[in-house]
């Protein structure tokens, strides 16, 4: 049995369904992200695990024990809040020591563990500092140390990096992953930032409107999104209408003037979803999707193209490798490998 099990977890407020029958198995030591737009139910799910929100239905099992019946203060979970929620009237060390005090850990051991925890997050010299005299990044680290020092069964992170600026956030992502690997604590992260979720997690749970859209490893969710929502939420994608027909052992896909052969057995009107960076430029040979370059934007390490084709607008991202690139108003052909194209029936069947 998995370490942490959420079974058919449900939360409703009157008629409003915040979380609908969410089931999830988390392995020991795994890093899971709950990813979705605001209001998708990810924070509510985390709060149910933490015990701050009572589920309407379903079960939460930790190592086989029912967590719902347990008081939040007895669950032994480490929580890092979006606002950090540091105790403003206590120093960094006192903040970190609080959980150990509650566990009645002896003075000597407490001091030792507080020191180690602060060192782990790189704040060895800041023990006596008050939170309001620390930067956002430092407060974030204190919050992490405070949650980790009690050796929690599970670490819950509620949008922990959303209040940091972009550069610091990237640094903290790397550090967070490193610390989690070192300590080996099972971790659940709530975030609306898809790149953060993909960078940190072993698996991501994409949520929308209280429902789970997909649970998968980051690369799998990105390459083979289970639903249009996942495809759209995890980075840009092109959605192109076409037709497919099974012929012999192959499926022939036609999108405007372009033709592809696919192994996926599907028939009739289809939607093909292709990531912009998977599309390459080629000459306008027969059987290729052709189009006109409408705009071209330079974005440092890559170019972003908007191409007008018979199948509609197509976005293309090409790495800036230094070679000559098509200019605006050039006529171009577009190609991609069949396996880079996710196909689904246009009427909603998969």
Is residue 58 close enough to count as binding other proteins by CB under 8 A?
no
Is residue 54 close enough to count as binding other proteins by CB under 8 A?
yes
For residue 74 the two structure tokens come to: 């007895």
Segment near other proteins (CB under 8 A), from 143-151, 197-205, 310-318, 328-336?
143-151
d(CA 250, CA 228): 24
Q: Label residue 128 left, alpha or beta by phi (over 0 means left) and psi (-120 to 50 means alpha).
A: alpha
HSE value, Cβ hemisphere, 13 Å, CA-based, for 317: 13
Which own/partner pairs from 171-178 qualify as long-range (CB within 8 Å, at least 24 positions apart)?
171/137, 172/137, 172/140, 173/199, 173/200, 175/121, 175/122, 176/144, 176/200, 177/31
Q: C-beta of 137: minimal distance to other proteins in Å? A: 18
CB 204 within 8 A of CB 177: no
Segment near other proteins (CB under 8 A), from 2-10, 79-87, 113-121, 224-232?
79-87
Is residue 65 close enough to count as binding other proteins by CB under 8 A?
no
DSSP string, 121-182: TT-GGGTT--GGGS-HHHHHHHHHHHHHTT--SEEEEESTTTTS-HHHHHHHHHHHHHHHHH
Question: DSSP state, 267?
Answer: -
Is residue 146 close enough to count as binding other proteins by CB under 8 A?
yes
Look at residues 310, 308, 303, 242 and name the one whose alpha carbon lies nearest to residue 276. Answer: 303
Is the C-alpha dihedral spanning 141, 142, 144, 149 positive or negative?
positive
Is residue 62 close enough to count as binding other proteins by CB under 8 A?
no
Find the binder of other proteins among 5, 6, 19, 79 (CB under 8 A): 79
Is residue 13 close enough to count as binding other proteins by CB under 8 A?
yes
- Number of Cβ within 10 Å of residue 160's Cβ equals 25
Is residue 51 close enough to count as binding other proteins by CB under 8 A?
yes
Is residue 38 close enough to count as binding other proteins by CB under 8 A?
yes
Segment near other proteins (CB under 8 A), from 78-86, 108-116, 279-287, 338-346?
78-86
Find the binder of other proteins among 8, 27, 52, 181 (CB under 8 A): 52
Q: Which is nearer to other proteins, 71 or 167 (CB)?
A: 71
Is residue 72 close enough to count as binding other proteins by CB under 8 A?
yes
Is residue 91 close enough to count as binding other proteins by CB under 8 A?
no
CB 68 within 8 A of CB 4: no
Segment near other proteins (CB under 8 A), from 45-53, 134-142, 199-207, 217-225?
45-53
Look at residues 271, 291, 282 and name the one whose alpha carbon lies nearest to residue 318. Answer: 282
Find the binder of other proteins among 57, 63, 87, 217 (CB under 8 A): 87
Find the binder of other proteins among 31, 33, 36, 44 (CB under 8 A): 44
Q: Which is nearer to other proteins, 76 or 326 (CB)?
A: 76
Find the binder of other proteins among 85, 199, 280, 346 (CB under 8 A): 85
Burial class (CB in 10 A: 0-12, 13-18, 19+), 124: exposed
Is residue 135 close enough to count as binding other proteins by CB under 8 A?
no
Applying CB under 8 A, which residues contact other proteins?
A: 13, 18, 38-39, 43-44, 50-54, 72-79, 81-83, 85-89, 98-99, 102-103, 143, 146-147, 150
């Amino acid at each position: 049995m998995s370490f942490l099990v959420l079974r058919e977890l449900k939360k409703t407020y009157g008629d409003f369904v915040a979380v609908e029958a969410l089931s999830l198995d988390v392995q020991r030591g795994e890093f899971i992200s709950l990813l979705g737009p605001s209001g998708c139910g990810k924070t509510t799910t985390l709060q149910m695990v933490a015990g701050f929100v009572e589920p309407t239905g379903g079960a939460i099992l930790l190592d086989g024990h029912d967590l719902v019946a347990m008081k939040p203060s007895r669950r032994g979970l480490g929580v890092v809040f979006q606002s950090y929620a540091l105790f403003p009237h206590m120093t960094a060390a006192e903040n970190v020591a609080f959980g150990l005090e509650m566990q009645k850990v002896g003075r000597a051991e407490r001091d030792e563990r507080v020191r180690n925890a602060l060192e782990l997050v790189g704040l060895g010299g800041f023990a006596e500092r008050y939170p309001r005299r620390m930067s956002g990044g430092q407060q974030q680290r204190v919050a992490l140390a405070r949650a980790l020092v009690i050796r929690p069964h599970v670490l819950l992170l509620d949008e922990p990096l959303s209040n940091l600026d972009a550069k610091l956030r990237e640094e903290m992502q790397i550090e967070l992953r490193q610390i989690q690997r070192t300590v080996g604590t099972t971790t659940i992260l709530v975030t609306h930032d898809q790149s953060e979720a993909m960078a940190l997690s072993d698996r991501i749970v994409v949520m929308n409107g209280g429902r789970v859209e997909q649970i998968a490893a980051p690369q799998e969710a990105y390459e083979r999104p289970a639903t249009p929502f996942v495809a759209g939420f995890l980075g840009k994608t092109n959605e192109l209408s076409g037709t497919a027909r099974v012929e012999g052992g192959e499926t022939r896909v036609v999108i405007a003037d372009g033709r592809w052969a696919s192994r996926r057995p599907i028939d009739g009107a289809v939607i093909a979803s292709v990531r912009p960076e998977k599309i390459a430029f080629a000459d306008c040979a027969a059987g290729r999707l052709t189009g006109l370059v409408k705009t071209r934007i330079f974005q440092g390490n890559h170019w972003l193209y908007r191409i007008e084709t018979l199948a509609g607008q197509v976005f293309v991202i090409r790495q800036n490798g230094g070679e000559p690139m098509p200019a605006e108003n050039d006529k171009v052909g577009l190609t991609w490998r069949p396996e880079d194209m996710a196909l689904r029936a246009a009427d909603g069947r998969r």
